[in-house]
Amino acid sequence: MAVIYAMPSLWYPFAKDHPIHWYIAQRLLEGELPYVSALSTKPPGVFVVLSAATVVLGDSMATVRIVDLVFLGLVGWLAVTFRMPRANGLVAPARSPGELGAAWVLAATFHYTFFDFSDTGHPELWQGTFMLASLWLLVRSPDRRVSPRRALAAGAVAMCAVTFKHVAFTTGVLAGGVILWWGLSRREAREPLRNAALFSGAVFATLGLVLLPWALSGAFDVLWESMVEFILRYARKSGPMGIGRRGPIPFLTYDHGLFATLAAAAALVAGLAVCRAQRNRHELRVGSLVLLSCLVALLSIAIQKRALYSFVWTYYFVTLVPFLVLAVSWGLRAQSIRRGLSHLAIAVSLMAAFFWYQPKGTHQADHTYLREHQSFWPYLIGRRSAEEHHAPHRDGPLEDFNRLSVVGAYINTRAQPGDTLCVDGWVMMLYQMTELRCPSRFLYGDGARRTPEWRAEYRQMLQREPPTFFVTFGLRPRVRQLMARGYTRHDIEFEDAWYTVLERPRDQ
């Protein structure tokens, strides 16, 4: 059921950021380290996962969607096994039939119902999964006694989460605190301090392994520029969507993700209340860790202040999906521990309720996952055209899959082996559609968040290695600049969008 529910997502096209991740992953498969040929704020784990997935699944826009589906399967399994196997001599009850299915249904519901094509397919889900996995390794310790191997594994996994998004360090802090607290609460000092040292050592050892390729290749300065300087500059950017803006958090509003959050909170609070009433201290400890993990996941989002004030960055909240699933799964188990089939019934009921309630897409206010299904199945059997089905898949008039497909098709009719491409803005999907490389590491031009030095570097590239094709928009100055250098112009016009494809003469 969860897979059927998720099926429309496998036909989602790329949105704004997906092409950057795809492009760097392709270069990695060709032997280039990330950030050498393309700038990004995403850590290297993103590109390792995508390049590995491309080897296994092939190169297509669907690859990242299948990766999401695999991670959601892992989320469900982690959620239902998030329990101590033994406490105070008592063995935890085995997983009930239906629990795992319920968790998978919940994972699909929270991920696809509340996040649209532009929000999904990002590393936030992978980050959240590894954050949860680090805590899972600890909670599986019998009698809260963390073995050295578990401490090492938890540290390595916590660092892996950071390789998808830097803010995942929050869970590493929580995991380290749990290791210390569990030991000190037994009035022991040597064991928790040893395990905390092992945990920290695994974190830094994993970090060292991640950094090693850049250090050995002499490209550490490129890594530092992307992962430190660029991110700090990005974080300082404010403006009307910065911290000064007031109002409700866009994702946590009634027509978006509010009810998903409330459902998870209600299940978790009810589970904690039942454990407290039954004086089940063992399960209450697990529930408290679930609560803390949810709060830490929220903190990792709040650190990125943009997500609190603008729909542009609502995909940051995808980090919550594993923890929403965990909260509901644990809450139901705490209330009816041997009734797995009732868990499944509740999960299916939540799926149906949210599906028919139709939370709105964060980028297309009139599009919902119900409408996605209503369009997808006729499209799949040939009763709806691809153009009709993909009409809502757009981040704006220019970042429109259907329109960019027309532009990409035109370039493909003109392109020859060895040709290159530059684009002027967030239309980087064209790199995937044409499979052309960009001679610059600034894949979307010399506009947003560019320093004077970076702009100068980009313009030097235009002089030294002018691209074969340059896609911009009709009234921008670059049209005149490149035409003055002999580029020919081809306009592709739509009702509210105007693309200009500039082509360099072959003899230049």
| Residue after which a domain boundary falls, among 337, 357, 377 | 357
Question: Is the same domain home to 406 and 321?
Answer: no
Question: Is the same domain home to 30 and 106?
Answer: yes
Domain-embedded: residue 51: yes
Domain-embedded: residue 161: no
Give the CA distances from residue 448 to residues 102, 237, 273, 442, 445, in Å, rounded to whole numbers and listed in that order. Answer: 44, 11, 50, 10, 8
Question: Is the same domain home to 409 and 485?
Answer: yes
Residues 6+ apart with CB under 8 A from 249: 307, 308, 309
Question: Is the same domain home to 124 and 258?
Answer: yes
Domain-embedded: residue 325: yes
CA gap 80, 96 in Å, rounded: 9
| Residue after which a domain boundary falls, among 293, 326, 357 | 357
Could you tell me which residue, 411 or 244, shows the higher pLDDT? 411
| Residue after which a domain boundary falls, among 300, 322, 357 | 357
Question: Is the same domain home to 307 and 426?
Answer: no
pTM for the structure as a whole: 0.93
At residue 78's C-alpha, the angle toward residues 294 and 284, to 5°, is 55
Q: Which has the closest alpha carbon to 424: 390, 451, 462, 452?
A: 462
Question: Is the same domain home to 298 and 439?
Answer: no
C-beta atoms surrounding 198 within 10 Å = 21
142 pLDDT above the threshold of 50: yes
Question: Is the same domain home to 295 and 440?
Answer: no
Query: pLDDT tens digits, residue range 261-272?
Result: 999 999 999 999
CA gap 442, 230 in Å, rounded: 12
Question: Is the same domain home to 336 and 473?
Answer: no
Which domain covers residue 492, as residue numbers?
401-503
Q: What pLDDT band is residue 451 in, cutting at 50, 70 and 90? A: confident
Identify the pLDDT of residue 235: 67
Query: Token digits for 13?
Result: 């096209």
Question: Is the same domain home to 9 and 65?
Answer: yes
Residues 6+ apart with CB under 8 A from 441: 35, 36, 37, 38, 39
Domain-embedded: residue 392: no
Question: Is the same domain home to 339 and 442?
Answer: no
Query: pLDDT tens digits, residue range 24-78?
Result: 999 999 999 999 989 898 999 999 999 999 999 999 999 999 999 999 999 999 9
Identify the pLDDT of residue 91: 64
At residue 460's C-alpha, the angle toward residues 458 and 464, to 5°, is 120
Query: pLDDT tens digits, residue range 340-364?
Result: 788 999 999 999 999 999 888 767 7
Question: Is the same domain home to 439 and 340?
Answer: no
Domain-embedded: residue 369: no
412 within 8 A of 431, measured Cβ to Cβ: no
Domain-embedded: residue 214: no
Domain-embedded: residue 213: no
Q: What pLDDT band is residue 7 in, cutting at 50, 70 and 90? A: very high
Identify the pLDDT of residue 306: 77
Question: Is the same domain home to 119 and 60?
Answer: yes
How many structural domains does the chain have? 2
Domain-embedded: residue 36: yes
